[in-house]
Amino acid sequence: TGMFTYDPGYTSTASCTSEVTFIDGDKGELRYRGVEIEELATNHEYLESVYLLLNSKLPTKEELQDFDLELRHRSFLHQGLNDLFIAFPSNSHPMATLSAATAALSTFYFSHLDVCTEEELQVMARRIIAKMPTIAAYAYRTSIGAPFIQPDIDRGFTENFLYMMRAYPGGKMHRGINGEDVIRDIEIKALDTIFTLHADHEQNASTTSVRNVASTGAHPYVAISSGISALWGSAHGGANESVIEQLEMIGHVDNVDAFIARAKDPEDDFRLMGFGHRVYKNFDPRARILKELQVQLQYELKLDSHLMQIASKIEEIALNDEYFVSRKLYPNIDFYSGVILTALKIPISMFTPVFVIGRTVGWITQWMEFKKTKGAKIARPRQLYVGK
Ligand code: CMC
**277 in active site:** yes
Q: Is the pLDDT of residue 178 over 70?
A: no
Which atom of ligand 1 approaches the CA of 204 most closely?
Answer: 51
Alpha-carbon distance of 86 to 89, in angstroms, equals 8
State residue 58's pLDDT score. 98
Q: Is 277 in the pocket of ligand 1 (CB under 6 A)?
A: yes
Test site for ligand 1: of 232, 244, 278, most ligand atoms within 8 A of the Cβ: 278
pTM of the entire structure?
0.96
Cα atoms in the Cβ-side hemisphere of radius 13 Å centred on 78: 13
User: In this predicted structure, which of 125-139, 300-314, 351-365 has the lowest mean pLDDT?
Assistant: 300-314
Among positive and negative, which fits the CA dihedral 57, 53, 126, 72?
negative
SS3 320: coil
Whether 219 is a known active-site residue: answer no
pLDDT at 179: 60
**Contact of 143 with 87, CB cutoff 8 Å:** no
Candidates 286, 314, 329: which one to mutate for ligand 1, based on the most atoms within 8 Å of Cβ?
Answer: 329
CA–CA gap between residue 65 and residue 46 (Å, rounded): 13
Is the domain 29-233+356-372 a CATH 3.50.50.60 member?
no
Polymer length in residues for the chain: 388
Among 198, 277, 284, 304, the active-site one is 277
Please give the Cα distance from 381 to 4 (Å, whole number): 10
Distance CA 107, CA 310 (A): 46
Q: Is 264 in the pocket of ligand 1 (CB under 6 A)?
A: no
Contact 109, 124 (CB under 8 A): yes
Mean pLDDT computed over 269-276? 95
**CA distance linking residue 31 with residue 39, whole number of Å:** 9
Judged against a pLDDT cut of 60, whether residue 1 lies above it is answered with: no
The catalytically annotated residue of 192, 200, 304, 334 is 334
User: By alpha-carbon position, which residue is closest to atom 37 of ligand 1?
Assistant: 276
The three-point CA angle 210-239-315 to 5° equals 135
CATH architecture of 239-343: Orthogonal Bundle (1.10)
**Cβ(378)–Cβ(16) under 8 Å?**
no
Q: Where are the domains of the chain?
A: 29-233+356-372, 239-343
Ligand 1 probe mutation, 250, 267, 275, 354, most atoms within 8 A of CB = 275
Q: List the residue whose alpha carbon is closest to atom 4 of ligand 1.
A: 271
The ligand 1 atom at the shortest distance from the C-alpha of residue 335 is: 44
Task: Determine the pLDDT at residue 201.
Answer: 98
| Residue 290 CA to ligand 1 centre (angstroms) | 20
pLDDT at 114 over 80: no
The dihedrals phi and psi of 225, each to the nearest 5 degrees, come to -60, -40
The residues pairing with 21 across neighbouring beta strands, listed in sequence order, are 32
| Distance from the alpha carbon of residue 100 to the mean position of ligand 1, in angstroms | 28
CA angle in degrees (0–180, nearest 5) for 96-101-102: 100
Tell me the pLDDT tens digit for each residue of 55-112.
999 999 999 999 999 999 999 999 999 899 999 998 899 999 999 999 999 999 988 8
